[in-house]
Amino acid sequence: MRNRIVVFSIILVSVIFALLFARAVHLNRGLPYSQFTEKKLRLLTYSTFMAAAGPGAEIVKRFKREHGCEVEITTTTDAGLLLERLKIAQVAASVDLVLGLDGLYLHFAEAQTQWHPVPALARDKWNPAVHSEAAGAFVPFDWSPMTFIYKQGKFEPPQVFHDLARPAWRAQIALQDPRVSSPGLQFFYWVKDLMGAGSADFLRRLQPNVQSVSPSWAFSYGLFKKNQARLVFSYVTSLAYHWGFDHDRSFQAVVLPEGHPVQVEYVGIPATCRECELAEAFTRTLLEPWAQQLIMQKNFMFPVLKGVEAGTIFSELPALKTRALVIPTSRDLSEWDQVFPR
């Protein structure tokens, strides 16, 4: 009896190792021996960027080839957990580059970690929307204005911001929770920026129209795609996916005269970096036209470099008036908590 348990365990362990070997062979197929090198860039980013359909894998592959180095990638399933993951990394294993920091969290990032100075870059070629003095040690690599996406139907989209609180939209708006989601926080700061002291009152009027407050953008967009909501707070560049890949132009963006918030994604090099030069080189690579094009096409965000989107579906997207929001240094969500309590 005891022998049989041992034999079964051995068989199981052998199967696990056989599968591990098959996986390693599959992953390393076509990799020449010269690629096994000592230099290794440790990159921390969010999983969607490195996904099979994302831009990361191709950028990393070309970077490895051009710089003759290895890139060790650590991802988080949620971009908002990057800073927490970085904290842990400082304890367990250092990181050379953090990719995907949200503009809203930069002051937290600066307060929590020391950062390596930004490498010299040709900023004059950047889109004006991403210029920010608050960026400090961080370099933008993509951006998009945020708005509500809807599918054309038998209803009129909101014309001004206040229309969102009209009874016609009862239980039709999918939002994200600002406590755990960056787009959710963008929406909340947008409301605060536009409504000032009347923010809580506006949220109270909006509340019956909110179909769901999701923990992430992906959840809320999934609900919208499942026809659970008519409006979803998202990126204007979401249209590029529907127009370009689905060939479905019935998806449209709400254009509001008040101006829209902008999400900018940044890359930063922690001061504790070991391969700081490689990290700088990777930052420069991200801003090369080919990488910017890849980010645009696969991450569905506008490129930072001016002119890259010319002639693509991105140049056909509605040009939204942008609005620079005032980002408080300490997070106060009290108005939100009043209307959507814990």
DSSP letters, 96-122, are: SEEEEEEGGGHHHHHHHS-BPPPPP--
Whether 258 contacts 164, CB under 8 Å = no
Q: How far is the CB of 307 from other proteins (least distance, A)?
A: 25
H helices present in the chain, as ranges: 2-27, 47-50, 56-67, 82-92, 106-112, 182-195, 199-206, 217-225, 238-244, 276-286, 289-299, 334-339
CA 329/CA 175 separation, integer angstroms: 23
CA distance between the termini of the chain: 55
Q: How far is the CB of 111 from other proteins (least distance, A)?
A: 10
Element (H, E) at 267: strand 262-268
Candidates 62-70, 138-146, 296-304, 305-313 — which segment interacts with other proteins by CB under 8 A? 296-304
Q: How far is the CB of 136 from other proteins (least distance, A)?
A: 20
Please pick, from the candidates 132, 212, 285, 312, the single residue that binds other proteins as defined by CB under 8 A.
Answer: 212
Please pick, from the candidates 28, 35, 37, 77, the single residue that binds other proteins as defined by CB under 8 A.
Answer: 77
Whether 86 contacts 243, CB under 8 Å = no
CA 338/CA 326 separation, integer angstroms: 21
Q: Is 4 in the site for other proteins (CB under 8 A)?
A: yes
Please pick, from the candidates 39, 51, 132, 200, the single residue that binds other proteins as defined by CB under 8 A.
Answer: 51
Q: Is 236 in the site for other proteins (CB under 8 A)?
A: no
Please pick, from the candidates 241, 272, 293, 323, the single residue that binds other proteins as defined by CB under 8 A.
Answer: 241
Q: Measured in whole angstroms, how far is the alpha carbon of residue 196 from the centre of its chain?
A: 27
Please pick, from the candidates 64, 76, 121, 204, the single residue that binds other proteins as defined by CB under 8 A.
Answer: 76
CA 164/CA 176 separation, integer angstroms: 15
The DSSP output letter for 138 is: E
Q: Which residues pair with 269 in a beta bridge?
A: none
Side chain identity, residue 324 = A
Q: Is 121 in the site for other proteins (CB under 8 A)?
A: no
Q: Is 48 in the site for other proteins (CB under 8 A)?
A: yes
Please pick, from the candidates 32, 33, 92, 311, the single residue that binds other proteins as defined by CB under 8 A.
Answer: 92
**Which candidate, 92, 101, 179, 167, places its Cα nearest to that of 140?**
101
Q: Is 122 in the site for other proteins (CB under 8 A)?
A: no
Q: Which of residues 23-42 bind other proteins (CB under 8 A)?
A: 23, 26-27
Q: Which of residues 124-143 bind other proteins (CB under 8 A)?
A: none
For residue 299, give every residue at least 6 positions away whose Cβ sits within 8 Å of its Cβ, in sequence order, or none.
48, 49, 54, 55, 142
Please pick, from the candidates 31, 35, 66, 87, the single residue that binds other proteins as defined by CB under 8 A.
Answer: 87
Side chain identity, residue 5 = I
Q: How far is the CB of 316 from other proteins (least distance, A)?
A: 18
Candidates 62-70, 222-230, 270-278, 321-329 — which segment interacts with other proteins by CB under 8 A? 222-230
Q: Is 9 in the site for other proteins (CB under 8 A)?
A: yes
CA 42/CA 275 separation, integer angstroms: 8
Whether 199 contacts 235, CB under 8 Å = no
Please pick, from the candidates 199, 214, 292, 297, the single residue that binds other proteins as defined by CB under 8 A.
Answer: 214
Candidates 3-11, 120-128, 160-168, 191-199 — which segment interacts with other proteins by CB under 8 A? 3-11
**Which candidate, 263, 259, 261, places its Cα nearest to that of 161?**
259
Q: Is 62 in the site for other proteins (CB under 8 A)?
A: no
CB nearer to other proteins: give 126 or 141.
141
Q: How many residues interact with other proteins (rule CB under 8 A)?
A: 74
Q: Is 340 in the site for other proteins (CB under 8 A)?
A: yes
CB nearer to other proteins: give 145 or 184.
184
Q: Is 192 in the site for other proteins (CB under 8 A)?
A: no
Q: Is 12 in the site for other proteins (CB under 8 A)?
A: yes
